[in-house]
Structure 1
Amino acid sequence: MAVTHLHPPELTLLDYAADDPRDTVTLADKEAAILQLYHQLQDQRLEKALLEQEPQFLSGDNAEEQLAIAERELLEARSTYTVRRKAVQTILMTDPILKAVHLKASTPAERALLRLVNRRDVLALAHENLASAHELVLKQMSNLEVDNLRINQENQELVRQLLELTKEDSSWRERLQDADLASQLESVEADLKTRKAKWETMKNIASAVVVGSGLNWADDDALRALVLDESDD
């Protein structure tokens, strides 16, 4: 799919972030089995820790409060276990990564880590830059939407003024002797009516975009005025 709307630096970041078959590391059967057993062991340790907890029977008027306490203690236990597990995993990963970075790796798996470490750093950089570009585009789009709504409101006011001026005295229509001029006037009025209907549609769409964009429009005076505009003009 073409992405012609992106700038060259952003296209370069996408190229870096694209999948590369060379990033796939093939583990030996023994290594894959060790990893699988390690994950199973971690799951069993968590299940064992939960089963070893003393059961607390809920009774009386404070059953809901006791249940809330038990749920909180369970969440705290799981959080502690998760942090400890991640710390152990980090320690286990540090040594082979250092060996790969400093070219002291002795096994094929450790040597394969060097490219993956470089790949991780490139992806982190690409993600950070693309996230910044995405945020900038969203901000620009939001500003353009606000400007579009403001211009539409100005057009609406001009149309209202024009209608006020033309409806005050319509006797001048009867005094028109030029058929071409009368035809042009009818064409302009029909076009004005069409444009007004189109403006109403665009206003509704733009308001829906602002509401659905996730912006905190309720705290912004301009956006709130645009979204809550209930004018019948």
Structure 2
Amino acid sequence: MSRQENVENMEGIEMTGPANDIPPLSDQEKRILEVYDKLEELQVEIALLKAQGVISSRDFPEEVTDEDIRKAEKDLLESKANCSLRSKIIENVVIANPMLKAVHAGNNASIIEQDLLPLIEKRDIFSEKLAQMSNKLQSSREELMKESSENTITGRKNIELATQMLALAKETSSQGKEDIQDSEVRAQLDELEKEMKKSKQRWRIMKNTTSAVIVGSGIDWARDPKLLEIVLDDDEDQ
């Protein structure tokens, strides 16, 4: 969609706040936008005509190889990149000059350039708010990773304590669980083994999930000893 179409589509839309005080584009300004859009269209057509001329002047083999396709794709990407870069440079130059005058020229700026100043200030405010929100989001992610790592470490300690408890319970009976006559004690040992297995399974799931979240979060976990231990830890011996 061209800039002129954007302007026309915005006509009739009611805006609130300072934007209502902004005067509409003059006929001359609309004409400038139309000419600029036409210039871009002509540049694209010229590029296509040049490409067709190059293609028609070449003697292509009857069979096109993969190398020919890759070269054509590379040429296409380079042409698109050059065209996009040229358009961006022209657009930035056209935009930058009025913005600089609106900010720095003061009373020497034209009326149209002065009208840009409130919009530029509003843009800067929104940019600052966006940066603050991004910082808060990053801090929240880091805090979440910290809490997750501490939760995983706590779960690991619980597994270790449960393992030690089971080992102590086994040591209390040198004859082994099968030789224990007290049915209540044997039932408690069986229940303890089941709980330990469930706890191990829950901890592995929690640990693997936390590791995946840490790696996919974009945080530099390699520099955090706790996060590094969680990601690289091998729980085979647990």
Smaller-chain TM-score bracket: 0.5 to 0.7
- Whole-angstrom CA distance in 1 between matches of 2:213 and 2:153: 15
- Judged with a 3 Å threshold, the aligned counterparts in structure 2 of structure 1 residues 62 and 194 are, in CA distance, closer, same or farther, namely closer
Residue aligning to 2:96: 94
- Whole-angstrom CA distance in 2 between matches of 1:190 and 1:230: 18
- Judged with a 3 Å threshold, the aligned counterparts in structure 2 of structure 1 residues 198 and 26 are, in CA distance, closer, same or farther, namely farther
Residue aligning to 2:229: 222
Of 145, 150, 158 in structure 1, the residue corresponding to residue 148 of structure 2 is 145
State the TM-score, normalizing by the size of structure 2: 0.63
Higher relative contact order (CA 8 A, sep 6+): 1
C-alpha RMSD of matched pairs (Å): 4.0
- 2:235 aligns to what SS in structure 1? coil
Runs of 4+ in 1 over 6 A off after TM superposition: 216-220
Residue aligning to 1:162: 165
Letter in 2 for 1:229: D
- Judged with a 3 Å threshold, the aligned counterparts in structure 2 of structure 1 residues 132 and 217 are, in CA distance, closer, same or farther, namely closer
- Whole-angstrom CA distance in 2 between matches of 1:124 and 1:161: 55
Q: Comparing both structures, which one devotes a greater share of its residues to helix?
A: 2
Are the aligned partners of 1:58 and 1:67 in contact in 2 as well (CA < 8 Å)? no
Structure 1 segment 59-74 matched on structure 2, within 5 A: 59=61, 63-74=65-76
Of 79, 85, 93 in structure 2, the residue corresponding to residue 77 of structure 1 is 79
Letter in 2 for 1:209: V
Matched, 1:133 2:139: no
State, as a whole percentage, how many aligned pairs show the same letter. 27
Of 210, 213, 235 in structure 2, the residue corresponding to residue 209 of structure 1 is 213
Q: Deviations over 1:124-170 (max 9, x none)?
A: 33333433333333233223322221221111111111122224425
- 1:120 aligns to what SS in structure 2? helix
How many residue pairs end up in the alignment?
A: 203
Residue aligning to 2:110: 106
Are the aligned partners of 1:99 and 1:110 in contact in 2 as well (CA < 8 Å)? yes
Letter in 1 for 2:141: L
Are the aligned partners of 2:99 and 2:116 in contact in 1 as well (CA < 8 Å)? yes
Residue 93 (structure 1) shift: 1.9
Residue 50 (structure 1) shift: 2.4
Are the aligned partners of 1:99 and 1:105 in contact in 2 as well (CA < 8 Å)? yes
Answer with 198-207 or 110-119: which moved more.
198-207
- Judged with a 3 Å threshold, the aligned counterparts in structure 2 of structure 1 residues 95 and 215 are, in CA distance, closer, same or farther, namely closer
Residue 204 (structure 1) shift: 4.7
- Judged with a 3 Å threshold, the aligned counterparts in structure 2 of structure 1 residues 153 and 32 are, in CA distance, closer, same or farther, namely farther
- Whole-angstrom CA distance in 1 between matches of 2:152 and 2:145: 11
- 2:162 aligns to what SS in structure 1? helix
Residue aligning to 1:4: none
